[in-house]
Amino acid sequence: MEQAAAHNGSGAGAAPAAGAARPPATPEGMALAYGSLVLMALLPIFFGALRSVSCAKSKNSSEMPETITSRDAARFPIVASCTLLGLYLFFKIFSQEYINLLLSMYFFVLGILALSHTISPMMNRFFPANFPNKQYQLLFTQGSGETKEEIVNYEFDTKDLVCLAMSSVVGVWYLLRKHWIANNLFGLAFSLNGVELLHLNNVSTGCILLGGLFIYDVFWVFGTNVMVTVAKSFEAPIKLVFPQDLLEKGLEADNFAMLGLGDIVIPGIFIALLLRFDISLKKNTHTYFYTSFVAYIFGLGLTIFIMHIFKHAQPALLYLVPACIGFPLLVALAKGEVTEMFSYEETSTPKEVPGASKEETTEADKKEK
């Protein structure tokens, strides 16, 4: 999900095609577009957070979450900035058409895999009980004997292959037409997978990540035109879009408002962490999850409101970060649970070090943190 996070600064800003004179969007069209963007942003956060709970308990190596440590969080804004600036220079130096062709092929493959993983749990309910389901395992190793190391270990079944075929239809549709609905299906799949599979190891790491990207977002949107330029030039499902002229032109509408996936995934993984923290308290309440979820709605609504006041694309994290961190922190202060919140720790499954004992493997895993 790095690509998504690197281009989140388009915020909730409108993004008409460059050089095209368009009539102003109607109030009804804008309300429908931004309301739809908010709803589409909430879905992957809510369901991704729920799925992250079972993902954290999974013993299937193909579904193991990727744990973000404080070191990763501190480096992320720097990596994202280099990626963003690199793409900006590429678009300035090379033909935009060829770059987008390469990116389309890359996201075509990623999108199919992400969408297949997203719809698989839902589709399993529709398969009949007598469906001939067979198990498969894709395993790549390096070396032999005690030095053997797993590169890829992915387990799947016949039902997953059916989901993959269905997702491929959407992929071909996106590749041939670049239709905004196909773009959004991939974007929603990327977002949900990001929230589900990217886990922060503790609240402090979440604060470091959100704080760093807060500065990153503000700088690249207000300080330069790099973020908005890349977001409008980048023909890939790294943003959700919704036409403001849908009521006038139907499905062929082309005057889009957009929201970067990073504005969904980055706050989303923090909200998912708070859900898992809620569950760890064993109080049968999801106070922090619902508080942060409402905070996200407030922050995104404020982004859209400010954008229309100043008529300029807004860095959504400028409003989302203080809301998503501040609201739960105030609740923790009121309940006297600040210590519990910041002492909550998620540990990733220790990675096996070839030829090392279990204690040495655990020690190596701790050093990574």
Catalytic residues: 217, 263
H or E element that contains 110 = helix 96-123
Please say whether the beta carbons of 193 and 117 come within 8 A: yes
Tally of residues, the chain = 369
Distance, CA of 57 to CA of 61 (rounded, Å): 11
What is the three-state SS of 144-169?
A: CHHHCEEEEEEEEEHHHHHHHHHHHH
Q: Which of 104, 102, 92, 73 is nearest to 224 (CA)?
A: 92
327: left (phi over 0), alpha (psi -120 to 50) or beta: alpha
The phi, psi pair for 89, rounded to 5°, reads -65, -40
From residue 93, alpha-carbon distances to 96, 98, 99, 100, 250 in Å are 9, 12, 11, 13, 36
What the block records as the tokens of 320 is 């989302």
Place of tokens 């009980």: 129
Q: Which long-range contacts (CB under 8 A, 24 or more apart) does 88-95 make?
A: 88/226, 88/229, 88/230, 91/229, 91/230, 91/233, 91/234
Q: Are 257 and 241 in contact (CB under 8 A)?
A: yes
